[in-house]
Amino acid sequence: MEKVLTRNISPGKAPTDIAAYEANGGYSALRKAMTVMSPDDCRQVISDSNLRGRGGAGFPTGMKWSFVPMGDKCSPGHKYLVCNADEMEPGTFKDRLLMEFDPHQLIEGMILSAYCIGADISYIFIRGEYVVAIERLRAALADCYARGYLGENILGSGYKLEMHVHPSAGRYICGEETALINALEGKRANPRAKPPFPQVSGLWGRPTIVNNVETLCNIPHIIDRGADWFKGLGVGEDAGTKLFGVSGRVKNPGCWELPMGTSVREILEDHAGGMQDGLQLKGFLPGGGSTDFLTRDHLDLAMDYNVIGKAGSRMGTGTMIILDDKTCPVGMVLNLIRFFAHESCGFCTPCRDGLPWSRQVLEDIENGRGKKEDLDTLEYQIKYIGAIGNTHCALAPGAMEPLQSALKYFREDFEHHISGRACPYRSVGGS
């Protein structure tokens, strides 16, 4: 399989500097765009490629960009491109790999994306704990300004762009693009009501595009090699490659670039090495902590957006969290609900008060204080907290996904906790 996003990344290899990046074709897409392609041409190629956002939602990138007012439809003033590098989704670590070991790929993708939408200022909104990535991105930006890839009159084209690294104070809610924008403006990171959408009125009221790190890293390759090439990389319904990750009790946890549509079984067994000795697969969250559990019955599904969606979950970030048969599903869900309750922005009641309520019910069940009616309470919470439209944003509905699917597939475990007035996994050396 052709490596695209990780072609400059290999075990034991130092991070790619600007000389090595250029020697392997880096910034050739930027030179092509600045000399022979208009912004309209570039946007059309991205639209034709069927690139879908790699941050979790899978929204078509070209369509998202098409909502930005261009030419006479846009009032005078700045336009912004923002890279969402906050990566706070539990179980997700793919963007860190790209930023730490190939920062110029992201920067080139951002310059090209900004050119496509006519942005003149761009920000990398990055998780504050990613200290190494921040340092390497800042060093790479300095090299780009020195080479003339950023600043005034890029490569003699007349196009100008500023780019800045903005470390985040760190909140999960900043993964929601309008909360990110508020945080970037120095405000509390609460999601905004939509409409207006950021493409029309975003950062400081100006047209703004927010894209994920992995999404932006695909842009140089698509511009350089074309839409048909990109579509040919996938083996299922979706185009391109994807960084898939696996964490949990497998023999080889990690992150791999594979074709979109690669099966769950191949990722888990061939790349992650299968389950550790003495353990069996019980279930998995296919795309991070806010996706629904799937089970062994779903191993042969293709990891693409529509197939996983039809199975009752979401591909999300494509980073699987594994549940083995010696790990308590109640405890696992409780751990996730604790995280989401802590990370709520507190703006709306179902999230602010509902998630701590769910946490308390799960704590009672896990610690032997549960009652049969607690399961009815959890079902009630799933119905109201988990319904899109009952909350200001998707944080609480996402938090309910692992809970609702755990009750669907592992209900007996909840019942055994209640009837036995203890976690049965602790008595057999589980966790």
Q: Is residue 8 part of a domain?
A: no
Q: Look up the CATH number of the domain holding residue 334.
A: 1.20.1440.230
Q: Is residue 9 part of a domain?
A: no
Burial 301-340 (b: 16+ CB within 10 A, else e): bbbbbebbeebbbbbbbbbbbbbbebbbbbbbbbbbbbbb
Range of the domain at 398: 329-428
Q: Residue 154, exposed/middle/buried by CB under 10 A (0-12, 13-18, 19+)?
A: buried
Which residue among 231, 263, 296 closes a domain?
Answer: 231
Which residue among 231, 255, 286 closes a domain?
Answer: 231
67 with 184, same domain: the answer is yes
319 with 386, same domain: the answer is no
Q: Which long-range contacts does 146-150 make (Cβ < 8 Å, 24+ apart)?
A: 147/18, 147/27, 149/27, 149/30, 149/107, 149/108, 149/111, 150/107, 150/111
Strand 319-324 versus strand 281-285 pairing type? antiparallel
162 with 22, same domain: the answer is yes
Residue 336: per-residue pLDDT? 97
318 with 354, same domain: the answer is no
Q: For the segment 178-219, what is each residue's pLDDT rounded down to a tens digit?
A: 999 999 999 999 999 999 999 999 999 999 999 999 999 999
What is 288-355 written as a DSSP string? BTTS--B-GGGTTSB-SHHHHHHTTS--TTSEEEEEETTS-HHHHHHHHHHHHHHH--S-SHHHHTHH
Which residue among 292, 308, 324 closes a domain?
Answer: 324
Nearest-angstrom CA–CA distance, 122 and 161:
7
Nearest-angstrom CA–CA distance, 423 and 431:
9
Q: Look up the CATH number of the domain holding residue 265.
A: 3.10.20.600
138 with 156, same domain: the answer is yes
As a 3-state breakdown, the chain gives helix, strand, coil percent values, each rounded to 5, of: 45, 15, 40
Q: Is residue 313 part of a domain?
A: yes
249 with 274, same domain: the answer is yes
Cα 185 to the chain's mean position, in Å?
22
250 with 366, same domain: the answer is no
Cα 84 to the chain's mean position, in Å?
9
Nearest-angstrom CA–CA distance, 101 and 93:
13
Q: What is the DSSP letter of 211?
A: E
Q: Is residue 12 part of a domain?
A: no
103 with 149, same domain: the answer is yes
Nearest-angstrom CA–CA distance, 385 and 399:
9
Q: Cβ neighbours of residue 257 under 8 Å, at least 6 residues apart?
A: 1, 3, 4, 5, 6, 241, 242, 243, 244
32 with 83, same domain: the answer is yes
- Judge whether 42 and 126 are in contact, CB under 8 Å: no
70 with 204, same domain: the answer is yes
Q: Is residue 375 part of a domain?
A: yes
225 with 287, same domain: the answer is no
Q: Is residue 358 part of a domain?
A: yes
Q: Is residue 416 part of a domain?
A: yes
Q: C-alpha angle with apex 176: 173 to 181, nearest 5 degrees?
A: 95
106 with 24, same domain: the answer is yes
DSSP, collapsed to helix, strand or coil, labels residue 162 as strand
Domain count, the chain: 3
Residue 325: per-residue pLDDT? 96
What does each of the 431 residues of the chain score in pLDDT, given as a tens digit? 789 999 999 888 889 999 999 999 999 999 999 999 999 999 999 999 999 999 888 899 999 999 999 987 888 899 999 999 999 999 999 999 999 999 999 999 999 999 999 999 999 999 999 999 999 999 999 999 999 999 999 999 999 999 999 999 878 999 999 999 999 999 999 999 999 999 999 999 999 999 999 999 999 999 999 999 999 999 988 999 999 999 999 999 999 999 999 999 999 999 999 999 999 999 999 999 999 999 999 999 999 999 999 999 999 999 999 999 999 999 999 999 999 999 999 899 999 999 999 999 999 999 999 999 999 999 999 999 988 889 999 999 999 999 999 999 999 999 999 999 999 998 655 55
Nearest-angstrom CA–CA distance, 355 and 374:
15
Residue-averaged pLDDT of the chain:
94
Residue 429: per-residue pLDDT? 55
Residue 57: per-residue pLDDT? 83
Q: For the segment 132-167, what is each residue's pLDDT rounded down to a tens digit?
A: 999 999 999 999 999 999 999 999 999 999 999 999
Region for 195 from its dihedrals, namely left if φ exceeds 0, alpha if ψ lies in -120 to 50, beta otherwise: beta
Nearest-angstrom CA–CA distance, 394 and 396:
6
Q: Is residue 5 part of a domain?
A: no
